[in-house]
Amino acid sequence: MVATHADAFRGTRTAGFWLALAIAALQGLNAVRALIDPQGFATYMGLPVDEPSALAWVQVYGLRAGFIALLTAVLLARGDFAALRWMALAALVMPLGDAWLAASAGAGAAIVGRHLAIAVVLLVASHFLGRAARAQRSA
């Protein structure tokens, strides 16, 4: 069920809304950073690249991060907290995979920890988005 305009406005008062908005904003920032400075972004992710041909793959990552940011924004605008909840749960594959890849490449504990912290934020967001979706259904 997609929310009405009044329901969507009420949803802005939920922790799930603000966590999803922060996730969308950070994914948008990742997209811009990956496209503008792929070398720096790869290092930030814990997977520095040495060959110019690899930089294009970092930019491919950036385009996908941009898609995630836009999709999240669309779902937020529609007030579709149930879809956002499932999206947050499905998105766990990214930070967990990033942590594994970074650790496998010898990245420092701070970088791996940052990826794992993002996974925790996604879990917390999914919890609050689920609560918002249930509240929406019962309203």
> Does residue 11 carry a pLDDT above 90?
no
- Surface-to-core class of residue 70, CB atoms within 10 Å of its CB (0-12 exposed, 13-18 middle, 19+ buried): middle
CB count, 10 Å around CB of 127?
16
Helices 15-36 and 81-90: angle between axes, nearest 10 degrees: 50
- Parent domain of 115: 5-138
Number of domains in the chain: 1
- pTM reported for the whole predicted model: 0.86
Which pLDDT band holds residue 83 (cuts at 50, 70, 90)? very high
Higher pLDDT, 22 or 51: 22
Averaged over 31-53, what is the pLDDT?
Answer: 93
